[in-house]
Structure 1
Amino acid sequence: MSEQLTSIAVLLAIFLIGTLRSINLGALALVASFAVGSGVMGWETPEVLAGFPAELFVILVGVTYLFAIARNNGTVEWLVQAAVRAVGGRVAAIPWVMFTISCVLVSLGAVSPAAVAIIAPVGMTFAVRYGINPLLMGLMVVHGSAAGNFSPIGVLGVVTNGVVDTSGLAADPIVLFLANLVFNVLLGAGIYFGLGGRQLLGAGRNGARASSGGTHSTGGPRLPGTTGPTAATAVATQPALDHDDALPLDRHRIVTLASMAALVVGALIFDLDVGLTSLSAAVLLTLLAPATAKEAVGQINWGVVLLVCGIVTYVGLMQEIGTVDYLGDAISQVDAPLLAALLICYIGAIVSAFASTTGILGALIPLAVPLLATGQVSAIGLVAALSISSSVVDSSPFSTNGAMVVANAPKEQQPMVYKQLMKWGFGLVLVAPIVSWASLTVAAG
């Protein structure tokens, strides 16, 4: 068996063992990286760990650390109250507000993980505070950011259009942007109404609120693996926000808000690393107010960090071995161009669920050139289908965006959110390529 096929077989074994046994997939993946890298490839330890996502590790730790401090000192609660007042108490609008903010940030040039890292913690706090399904909120944030991915001035849009130009293919940045935007808006609508949006709309103004008492279930869909009123959308008999309950802006909260604003400005305007900037802010807040940060490090979900970093390390090893190129070359031999185009979309979706979307597009778009030379496949349609297939799966818990959602979900619901995101992410791996291929490539052909 070739090295590439061996790496694929080992990846399948990781998921099989992790499903049958209660073993962290990240730990399994790191062991697999050691076994394949050292045993099969004969690599030394630095080569085996070359794919370890140090940047992703710092993002996960830094952002969750900062927002743990913000939760502990009441800053996030203050933000929640301010945002609910801003939408006139219409809690049903909050998921769409998060979707829109994420989309706008990415469309204007923020990288998607940076936008999700900033918005997801606040969105998840809304979910807990107002009885919104955390899976609904997390997916709205992720797909909001995905909706802005291929803006002509966005990072991923610039990179993709640049690769298309370099490959000598016909390009249409506006079609690419709008096709991806519409696809994600439709997904957002399905997510909203499928995961509790109807109940939020029915609750009306000041209607939904998670509370330790005085709530009753609306009968809406419950989150898998949970029981009781908080598992569904809850409706409180009292208003969602009482001015008597409004938190004041004390010194600690002002400093924390300033730190969070600095994170946003640094990441979106000065292109500072999100992880290191948030970690710096967290350390500064800890120095200024040790009491409010006392338990923050313990609130970082290290199991999620291990899981994501382990899987990404193994996928990086697979890319270094040449597994993705191996699959791409095999597909290029397919005689039917439309079928080969569909297979390329599937490769983009599968690999991107674990690895860099930008890297996958950079590798796969040039592989499509021989297919497009036949004249049987639309260049614009295939690029759009491949771009959507490769980016929409970022809701997978193994990608940076999905991992941020899991890490910021309520601790007791993180296993449920992880499992549901994995089902959703891999559902998109199966569905997104064929839908985008049929609507953009086949129809255009």
Structure 2
Amino acid sequence: MSHELISLAVLAVVFLVATIRGVNMGALALVAAYVVGLTVYDLEVDDILAGFPSELFVILVGVTYLFALAKNNGTVDWIVHGAVRAVGGRVALVPWAMFLVCAAVTAIGAVSPAAVAIVAPVAMGFAMRYQIHPVMMGMMVVQGATAGSFSPIGIFGSITNGVVDGNDLPGNQLFLFCSTFLAATLIAVITYLTLGGRQLIARGREDVQVGEMAAEAEAVSRQATHARTPGTPHSAVEATRTVGADDAEDDVTSLNPQRIVTLLGLLALMVGALGFDLDVGFTALTIAVVLTLVFPTSAKGAVEKISWGTVLLIGGIVTYVNLLQNQGVVDWLGDRVAEVGAPLVAALLICLIGAVVSAFASTTGIIGALIPLAVPFLLTDQVNAIALIAALAISSSVVDCSPFSTNGALVVANSEPADREMVFKRLMQWGMTIVVVAPIVVWGLMVVPTA
């Protein structure tokens, strides 16, 4: 077997083992890079580590550190409560409030599962209390998290744009964000109308207990902070009961100086990244450090809340892919794809692979791996690179509603016990349908017209 096939087989094994055994994919990929580099390519350790993505490391650390601070000082909770209050008694708008909250927090740098973990308990509790279909509510939460993730300072957007820039591919950050946002929104609209949205609209205004929702949101955020350690409540209702009187003075529904400064910092990050082409990672890190210096009390524990698991995942996957790239494996694979003889068919296969694997594995890892592997094919100009990258991003992310993915699993876990089997089955139906339909639709709408 050639060294190219061995290297790619090891990458497939990394994805398979990480999915089945629950081991961090990045850790496996780093070990794989070490073993393959030494045994297959006879490299030194320094040569292997040369592929570590230092720029992506700074981006991931910077944006997740800033989000941890925003979570610590209540800025994220303020956004959640503001969305709930904004709908007043309009129950029909609550699923869209949850959609927008998830989109907002992922757009400012939250990891998608973190946003779902924060919002899903509140959303699913609301669905039970006001007779909203739990699958519809869960889908709105997951697609909202997907919609915001490809912003220029979002995790998926930062990874995708970093890979594009690092491989000298043509990119368009605004097109990537808008196209993925619209795709997730379209799926949300279809879900909403299919699973009872019209009936909710017909119900009109109702007495929505915003204050109770606010208390639950605060309790759930504390629950997420403790990462479900032993003794931590496992439902929004249980969590609400654990909120003591010592928390009463922390009014998470109002702005205070810390939250105002944090919001201004997030706005400055977006303006700097979009308007002045500032480095996202270092800008986010700078704002986070300034917030830490100005408000040291609320910054306690924020460093520990940086998404180190995601940093390890991306660092490991990209290091391994860069090893393949440096050893010519990526060029070899691109040549094989190009030899298909039908560029559009090859583009469709890439999107389908991204959708299928992402439904069962890490979306973050897939985005970090598939785009570099497709670089040689993209450089042939047989298809529009900007369109295919956006299509691949959509195909790999909108399938996160699958119950086998982290986001889908969070929705199932936060459903009422009596509904969990039904929610699991329906999410599996929706997820598997999207796995097949989404790549074909985005390929037909985005890739084919630009070929």
Q: Does 1:18 align with 2:10?
A: no
Change (3 A) 1:205 1:325: farther
CA contact (8 A) 2:115 2:145 kept: no
Deviation at 1:383, TM superposition (A): 8.2
- Give the corresponding residue for 2:392: 390
Secondary structure, in 3 states, of the residue corresponding to 2:109?
A: helix
Change (3 A) 1:196 1:335: same
Deviation at 1:280, TM superposition (A): 1.8
Deviation at 1:388, TM superposition (A): 4.6
Identity of matched residues, %: 42
Deviation at 1:429, TM superposition (A): 6.5
The 1-side partners of 2:46 and 2:290 are apart by 33
Structure 2 counterpart of 1:390, one-letter code: L
- Give the corresponding residue for 1:417: none
- Give the corresponding residue for 1:36: 36
The 2-side partners of 1:281 and 1:443 are apart by 41
Deviation at 1:273, TM superposition (A): 2.3
2:368 to 331, 355, 358: 355
Structure 2 counterpart of 1:329, one-letter code: D
1:269 to 259, 270, 275: 275
Deviation at 1:187, TM superposition (A): 2.9
CA contact (8 A) 2:30 2:319 kept: yes
Change (3 A) 1:266 1:68: same
- Give the corresponding residue for 1:143: 147
- Give the corresponding residue for 1:91: 94
CA contact (8 A) 2:65 2:305 kept: yes
- Give the corresponding residue for 1:77: 77
Change (3 A) 1:84 1:49: same
Q: Does 1:54 align with 2:54?
A: yes
Deviation at 1:79, TM superposition (A): 3.1
TM-score when scaled to structure 2? Answer: 0.61
Deviation at 1:122, TM superposition (A): 7.5
- Give the corresponding residue for 2:302: 296
- Give the corresponding residue for 2:260: 254
Deviation at 1:99, TM superposition (A): 8.2
- Give the corresponding residue for 1:283: 289
TM-score when scaled to structure 1? Answer: 0.62
CA contact (8 A) 2:26 2:314 kept: yes
Deviation at 1:387, TM superposition (A): 4.4
Deviation at 1:135, TM superposition (A): 6.9
Q: Does 1:117 align with 2:115?
A: no
The 2-side partners of 1:25 and 1:291 are apart by 34
Report 1:125-274 matches (<5 A).
Answer: 127=120, 136-143=140-147, 183-190=183-190, 206=208, 209=213, 211-212=215-216, 230=236, 247-274=253-280
Deviation at 1:332, TM superposition (A): 3.3
CA contact (8 A) 2:354 2:395 kept: no
The 2-side partners of 1:177 and 1:249 are apart by 29
The 2-side partners of 1:178 and 1:47 are apart by 38
Secondary structure, in 3 states, of the residue corresponding to 1:117?
A: coil
Deviation at 1:51, TM superposition (A): 3.0
CA contact (8 A) 1:348 1:364 kept: no
Change (3 A) 1:83 1:335: closer
CA contact (8 A) 1:328 1:367 kept: no
Deviation at 1:177, TM superposition (A): 11
CA RMSD, Structure 1 to Structure 2 (Å): 5.4
Deviation at 1:320, TM superposition (A): 2.9
Change (3 A) 1:388 1:63: closer
CA contact (8 A) 1:348 1:361 kept: no
Tell me the alpha carbon deviations over residues 211-240 of structure 1, each in whole angstroms, 9 at most, x when there is no partner: 559x9xxxxxxxxxxx97649xx9xxxxxx
CA contact (8 A) 1:396 1:424 kept: no
Tell me the alpha carbon deviations over residues 258-295 of structure 1, each in whole angstroms, 9 at most, x when there is no partner: 32232222222222222222222222222222221112
Structure 1 counterpart of 2:109, one-letter code: A
CA contact (8 A) 1:91 1:207 kept: no
The 2-side partners of 1:422 and 1:16 are apart by 19
Tell me the alpha carbon deviations over residues 23-44 of structure 1, each in whole angstroms, 9 at most, x when there is no partner: 3221111010111122212223
CA contact (8 A) 1:14 1:25 kept: yes
The 2-side partners of 1:368 and 1:328 are apart by 12
The 1-side partners of 2:289 and 2:97 are apart by 30
Hey, which of these two has a bigger chunk of helix by percent?
A: 2
The 2-side partners of 1:179 and 1:259 are apart by 26
Q: Does 1:64 align with 2:64?
A: yes
- Give the corresponding residue for 2:129: none
